[in-house]
C-alpha cells in the first residue's frame, strides 16, 4: 500500500515532514496576489515526469504554462513509463522536452509550482529566481498532497497515482489563477 500511494516509505516520510514544515510556516512558499499570476511554471528534479505531465495537461486545459528541471539536461523526452501512463489517461507527452533551470527565463506574472519543499528551498536561494513567487503544486491537488514524490523508476501503480493527483490540481489552479488562462 505504501508503494502504491506514496511511491516509497521515503515518500511517505517526506509527505509527513512537508506537512509539518507547512504547519509551522517554514515551507518556502511565497505567494503574491492571485490576480498577478499570468503563467504557471511547473518545477521538479528532471522535468521528465511530474512537471512534464503537469505542463502538458495544464496547457491542454487552456492555461499559459512552462516547466523546467532543477537537475537535468535540455531536450530529454518524458520518462517512457510516465509517457505511457499519461497516454492511458488520454494525454500525449510526445512533444515534451526537458528544460534546465539555467535556461528558464522568468517573466512577470510567473508562479513557480514545485513538487517538493526541497525544490522550493533551491528556488529561494537562486539569485535569478528568489523573487519569483512559488508554492507547492500539491497544495492544489484533491485531496491536498503537498509532497508529490518522484515516480521516476517506481512502480506503474504509483506513477498512475502521482499523475492522477497532479490531474486533480489543474482545474483548481485554473480557478485560483484565472489570469493564467491562455
φ and ψ at residue 96, rounded to 5 degrees: -65, 140
**23 contact partners, CB below 8 Å, separation of at least 6:** none
Residues 37, 65 contacting (CB under 8 angstroms): no
Q: From CA 47, how far away is CA 41, in angstroms rounded?
A: 11
Q: From CA 173, how far away is CA 161, in angstroms rounded?
A: 19
Write out the catalytic residue numbers.
44, 50, 150
Q: In what order do the strands lie in the sheet with 110-114?
A: 65-69, 39-44, 110-114, 134-136
By DSSP bridging, strand 65-69 and strand 134-136 are unpaired
**113 contact partners, CB below 8 Å, separation of at least 6:** 40, 41, 42, 43, 54, 134, 135, 136, 137, 140, 173
**DSSP bridge partners of 41:** 66, 112
Amino acid at each position: 500500500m505504501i508503494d502504491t500511494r506514496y511511491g516509497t516509505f521515503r515518500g511517505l516520510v517526506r509527505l509527513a515532514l512537508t506537512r509539518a514544515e507547512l504547519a509551522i510556516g517554514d515551507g518556502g512558499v511565497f505567494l503574491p496576489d492571485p490576480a498577478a499570476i499570468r503563467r504557471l511554471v511547473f518545477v521538479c528534479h528532471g522535468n521528465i515526469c511530474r512537471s512534464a505531465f503537469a505542463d502538458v495537461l495544464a496547457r491542454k486545459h487552456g492555461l499559459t504554462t512552462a516547466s523546467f528541471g532543477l537537475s537535468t539536461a535540455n531536450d530529454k523526452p518524458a520518462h517512457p513509463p510516465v509517457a505511457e501512463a499519461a497516454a492511458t489517461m488520454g494525454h500525449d507527452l510526445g512533444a515534451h522536452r526537458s528544460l534546465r533551470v539555467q535556461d528558464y527565463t522568468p517573466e512577470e506574472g510567473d508562479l513557480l509550482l514545485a513538487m517538493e519543499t526541497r525544490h522550493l528551498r533551491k528556488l529561494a536561494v537562486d539569485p535569478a529566481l528568489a523573487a519569483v513567487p512559488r508554492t507547492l503544486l500539491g497544495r492544489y491537488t484533491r485531496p491536498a498532497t503537498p509532497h508529490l514524490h518522484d515516480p521516476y523508476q517506481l512502480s506503474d501503480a504509483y506513477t498512475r497515482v502521482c499523475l492522477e493527483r497532479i490531474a486533480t490540481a489543474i482545474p483548481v489552479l485554473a480557478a485560483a489563477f484565472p489570469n493564467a488562462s491562455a
